[in-house]
């Protein structure tokens, strides 16, 4: 199958994920709750720390001090924990949906609460990786940015299925990375068509939604235009994020059946048909 065919199939699968969200609109609440939670928790943390040092940033003794990196690590842990918590809730809701069961935000949150331990373990691993990359970037300058960029891409591909793996396979974080990588080799092949499709939809959505809202708000005041545009872009990103999570869940659970309710299995198999020498081989 050629790249254009894979791109077409990836686009069709992405559109199918939006159909799920159209039928269950409340699932978009998960990425919205995730974003607000990160802002509130991180904001509270850094505000509290600011009061503790009397807002004297010189006490950090330089941007690369141990205290600086400790704060970065804590922020990463919080960030990854919150993101995975709500992504896992969404994935569980899509699993219920694919089974034809009733779906509610409460069910998803309850499931994630039952997995607090494994979510925290994963957050620690992801934060450690993030901190290592941050240190490399700070110490090596432009070369560090190139190295961390390449490693970041490989890491993102390797952990593509990490959330459903830690949710349903009762494994630790290191095993989750290994299992996710195995799934990628089996399902993804060399094609990144689906990721490109979501990126394209998000880009178009930001322009189509953000620009008109900015112009409308600017009629009243430029600040109002910026505020409306920010809200619009935030909603677009939340919808895309939810659709991507639905996509991951569907591929992981090998959904088949009617396209109006589920993904077309043949499209999934065609898009993710692996080759003996895939991207991670």
Locate the domains of the chain by residue range: 3-271
Mean pLDDT, to the nearest integer, of 131-135? 91
pLDDT digits (tens, 9 = 90+) for 6-50: 556 666 667 778 888 888 888 899 999 888 888 887 777 777 666
pLDDT band of 259, cuts 50, 70, 90? very low
pLDDT band of 278, cuts 50, 70, 90? very low
pTM: 0.79
Backbone phi and psi for residue 100, each to the nearest 5 degrees, phi listed first? 80, 15
- DSSP state, residue 257: S
Please report the pLDDT score of residue 91 as a whole number.
93
**Token pair belonging to 207:** 């322009």
Please report the pLDDT score of residue 7 as a whole number.
58
pLDDT digits (tens, 9 = 90+) for 226-257: 888 888 888 888 888 898 888 888 778 765 43
- Return the minimum-mean-pLDDT range out of 25-39, 150-164, 263-277: 263-277
Please, what sign has the CA dihedral across residues 171, 175, 177, 180?
Answer: negative
pLDDT digits (tens, 9 = 90+) for 101-123: 888 899 999 999 999 999 999 99
**Token pair belonging to 145:** 């940015």
**Token pair belonging to 167:** 């949710």
């Amino acid at each position: 199958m050629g790249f254009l065919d894979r791109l077409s199939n990836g686009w069709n699968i992405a559109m199918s994920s939006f159909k799920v969200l159209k039928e269950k609109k409340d699932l978009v609440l998960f990425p919205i709750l995730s974003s607000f939670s990160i802002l509130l928790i991180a904001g509270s943390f850094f505000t509290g720390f600011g009061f503790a040092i009397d807002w004297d940033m010189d006490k950090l003794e330089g941007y690369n001090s141990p205290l600086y990196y400790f704060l970065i690590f804590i922020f990463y842990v919080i960030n990854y924990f919150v993101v995975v918590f709500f992504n896992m809730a969404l994935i569980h809701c899509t699993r219920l949906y694919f089974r034809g069961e009733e779906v509610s935000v409460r069910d998803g949150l309850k499931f994630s609460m039952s997995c607090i331990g494994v979510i925290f373990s994963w957050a620690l691993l992801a934060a450690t990786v993030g901190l290592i990359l941050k240190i490399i970037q700070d110490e090596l300058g432009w070369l560090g940015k190139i190295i961390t960029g390449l490693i970041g891409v490989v890491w993102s591909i390797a952990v593509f299925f990490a959330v459903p793996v830690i949710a349903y396979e009762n494994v630790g974080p290191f095993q989750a990375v290994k299992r996710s990588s195995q799934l990628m080799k089996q399902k993804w092949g060399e094609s990144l068509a689906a990721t490109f499709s979501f990126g394209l939809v998000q880009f178009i959505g930001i322009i189509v939604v953000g620009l008109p809202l900015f112009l409308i708000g600017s009629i009243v005041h430029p600040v109002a235009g910026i505020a409306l545009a920010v809200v619009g872009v935030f909603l677009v990103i939340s919808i895309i994020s939810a659709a991507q999570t639905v996509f991951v869940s569907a591929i992981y659970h090998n959904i088949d059946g009617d396209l109006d309710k589920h993904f077309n299995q043949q499209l999934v198999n065609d898009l993710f048909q692996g080759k003996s020498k895939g991207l991670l081989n």
